[in-house]
Amino acid sequence: MSSLEYTSLEEIPKIREHLRASFRAGKALDVVYRKEQLLQLAYLIQDNTERLQDALYQDLGRPKHESNLFDLGVLLGECLYAYKHIERWLKPQSVPFNINWSAFSPRVYKQAKGTVLIITPFNFPLYCLAPITGAIAAGCSVVVKLSELTPSTSSLLAELFPKYLDPDMYRVVNGGIDENMKLLELQWDHSGGKVGKIVATAAAKHLTPVTLELGGKCPAIVDENADFEVAAKRLLWGKMVNAGQTCAAPDYILVVKGAEAKLIEALKKQHSNFYGTNPHTSSSFSRIISHGHWDRLSDVLKKTKGKLPGQIITGGDRVREEKYIAPTIVQNVTAYDSLMQDEIFGPIFPIVSVPSIDTAVKYVNDHDHPLALYVFSKDAKVRGHVRKYTNSGAVVENDVMMHGSMPALPFGGVGPSGYGSHKGQHSFNTFVYQRPLLYSPNWLDLLLSIRFPPYTDATLKKINGVALPTIPYPRPGEKGGISWQWPLLVVSAALIIYKQDAIRRALNV
């Protein structure tokens, strides 16, 4: 393990001051500059692919395959997506036409919030860094605090950042709790992070808006007519990627009774397809980040009632020195089990059987809104039902976690799983505010001069005509009056047709 050099506490406020000064000096006002920086970040990834893969392997025992798919690939993709779309995003938005307001030619500008702070977690260091592309595109200056639990990756990024990106605008800060607290003491124009309440509280003191990407227990509901082969393959993959340390990973399975056996059969089959007979030596499986997390997971696993003989279908073995926990599937888990209390965040997959889809929906609704909800069924009606009667950050049909790579969809939670979102334009929107611009022409006062004092009965009458028209819809439960619009139209049309010769003659003269 390589050692990570912490940023000194005295330097942190200075960094912020420096970045703020460059922001105010307008260094990033130019779109060309922003595009250049986005491209540089993309090249940072491309030029150092192998070093980054190695660092992630050192920190998380992560196969290259997963690092590329979830970390490098996503960050690179986001850079290029922002690079390609930035002009469109920055264009002042025209607003829906409104007869009363069109004279003001209203537009909405996207303006940078200022100097922002991004705090990333250990599980996907580059994926979680990706919102920086939105911040760069927005024109903000950015401080990124990387996780101290991934020393190799964090120190590599700290080394590479100044080589590729403008250090006047974009900086990396490393450190533990002290450094974090110091950062949070300062005023930022937007912050985002994973230590939810602490970040939100610190931000509240400065009236700083925040985006929180938290986790939660993401349920996967499996219906009795699901395609079990596909479901098992996708579920197991999603759960075991990065050894289960994924915020949007399916946390537990709610399977409709009767389908349980089929699902377990399919999961077992996929398990041996994926990892062979011994996942420990398979190069397709990651390790747990720290001994602390290993102990927590180990403890949960010890307490589960599912450990009774025959309940742990696969896995269960662990090696502390290697921070290894085998991909584990536990069946017949009840809602009161130790596995069903907190977010697992490890390679343990509890299966809970429920009598019906409705029970599954009820179970989900009785708990905190998750970051994502997964539903597997061949029946579009069942999938629609689950979507309609639940709430979650995202809802996914017949797959897991793919939206983490889709730049077009917002990635974010609701309720306890956080608020705000990122990815693609949503990252950009996080770091800009919408500033409306209106222009009032002089002639407008021909119509609106009634607003000025002295207020007289005449101006009041006119104001009422403009501001308080009669509601054009009947009260709920009442019928509308007869509309003369259509009969009148018909009558006039008939008249025109009847008198068309006369009209023609009149027009010819």
Q: Within positions 425 to 454, which residues make up the interface with another protein, using CB under 8 A?
A: 433-442, 444-445, 448, 451-454
Task: State the Cα–Cα distance between residues 71 and 83, nearest whole angstrom.
Answer: 18
- Sorted by sequence, the CB contacts under 8 Å of residue 248 that are 6+ apart come out as 218, 371, 372, 393, 394, 400, 401, 403, 404, 411
Using rule CB under 8 A, residue 65 touches another protein: yes
Chosen residue from 51, 195, 280, 416 binding another protein by CB under 8 A: 416
Within 243-282, the residues that bind another protein by CB under 8 A are 273-276, 282
Choosing from 66, 213, 224, 260, the catalytic residue is 213
Can 247 be counted among the known catalytic residues?
yes
Using rule CB under 8 A, residue 2 touches another protein: no
Using rule CB under 8 A, residue 392 touches another protein: yes
Q: Which two tokens stand for residue 93?
A: 């938005």
Within 93-122, the residues that bind another protein by CB under 8 A are 95-96, 98, 100-101, 104, 106, 108-109, 111, 113-114
Choosing from 79, 128, 140, 247, the catalytic residue is 247
| Listed residue (372, 321, 367, 325) closest to 348, CA to CA | 325
Task: State the Cα–Cα distance between residues 216 and 36, nearest whole angstrom.
Answer: 37
Q: Which stretch binds another protein (CB under 8 A): 296-304, 351-359, 392-400, 486-494?
A: 392-400
Instruction: Write down the least CB distance from residue 75 to another protein, Å.
Output: 10
- Sorted by sequence, the CB contacts under 8 Å of residue 384 that are 6+ apart come out as none
Given the complex with another protein, which of 6 and 274 has the nearer CB atom? 274
Q: Strand 250-256 and strand 312-314: pairing?
A: unpaired
* Cβ pair 448, 241 in contact under 8 A: no
Window 3-42: contact mask with another protein (x via CB under 8 A): -----------------xx--xxx--x------x--xx-x
Task: State the Cα–Cα distance between residues 195 and 148, nearest whole angstrom.
Answer: 14
Given the complex with another protein, which of 303 and 435 has the nearer CB atom? 435
- In order of 138, 257, 444, 506, the CA distances from 386 in angstroms are 36, 17, 52, 67
Instruction: Write down the least CB distance from residue 250 to another protein, Å.
Output: 13
Q: Which two tokens stand for residue 45?
A: 């990834």
Using rule CB under 8 A, residue 486 touches another protein: no
Count other Cβ atoms within 10 Å, centred on residue 304.
22
Given the complex with another protein, which of 299 and 342 has the nearer CB atom? 342
Question: Treating both helix axes as pointing N-terminal to C-terminal, what angle do 380-388 and 357-365 enclose, rounded to 10 degrees?
Answer: 20
Can 128 be counted among the known catalytic residues?
no
Given the complex with another protein, which of 333 and 401 has the nearer CB atom? 401
Task: State the Cα–Cα distance between residues 35 and 28, nearest whole angstrom.
Answer: 10
Instruction: Write down the least CB distance from residue 490 to another protein, Å.
Output: 26
Window 168-207: contact mask with another protein (x via CB under 8 A): ---------------------x------xx--xx-xxx-x
Within 123-142, the residues that bind another protein by CB under 8 A are none
Please report which helix (H) or strand (E) contains residue 38, including its range.
helix 31-47
Given the complex with another protein, which of 6 and 395 has the nearer CB atom? 395
The catalytic residue positions are 213, 247
